[in-house]
């Protein structure tokens, strides 16, 4: 994915600071989930051609709630105060759904992570978004 691709999407749909601040954390998590999933799938495809069921199994390691919860705990010290606030809002929001394969605390932190991804994406802060993605997939960093 290139910056040009995101810029083309961004010119179609403008999200200024006022509009961004009106979005609920769950709306940010909704788009963040999709953006993160596309990143992970793209990353896995870049490693070479493999059967789709293997791609799916490998992607689950990154996108399941426990993995996202672990990521946000690991990268929290690297976040700005604005980013921490977005994560906190996402974590504390009431979702109305009960996770099937995750503990509720992990699920809440995963929602915070997805809210952050959605926020950075809609804000068009692609450089920071890539920083977060790199931290997310680099366990020893």
Look-up: residue for tokens 């992570």?
A: 113
Q: 33 an active-site residue? A: yes
- The Cα 119–Cα 5 span in angstroms is 17
Q: Which are the contacts of 37, defined by CB distance < 8 A and separation ≥ 6?
A: 59, 63
Set 7, 33, 103, 125: catalytic member: 33
- The Cα 68–Cα 85 span in angstroms is 17
- The Cα 141–Cα 139 span in angstroms is 6
Exposure string over 114-137, b if 16+ CB within 10 A, otherwise e: bbbbbbbbbbbebebbeebbeebe
Active site residues: 33
């Amino acid at each position: 994915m290139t910056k040009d691709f995101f810029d083309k999407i961004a010119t179609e749909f403008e999200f200024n600071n006022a509009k961004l601040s009106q979005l609920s954390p769950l709306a940010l998590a909704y788009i963040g989930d999709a953006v993160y999933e596309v990143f992970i799938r793209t990353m896995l495809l870049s490693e070479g051609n493999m059967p789709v069921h293997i791609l799916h199994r490998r992607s689950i390691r990154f996108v399941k709630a426990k993995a996202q919860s672990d990521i946000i705990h690991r990268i929290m010290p690297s976040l700005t105060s604005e980013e921490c606030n977005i994560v906190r809002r996402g974590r504390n929001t009431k979702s109305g759904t009960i996770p099937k394969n995750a503990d509720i605390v992990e699920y809440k932190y995963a929602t915070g992570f997805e809210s952050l991804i959605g926020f950075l994406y809609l804000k068009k802060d692609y450089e920071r978004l890539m920083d977060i993605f790199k931290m997310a997939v680099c366990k020893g960093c």
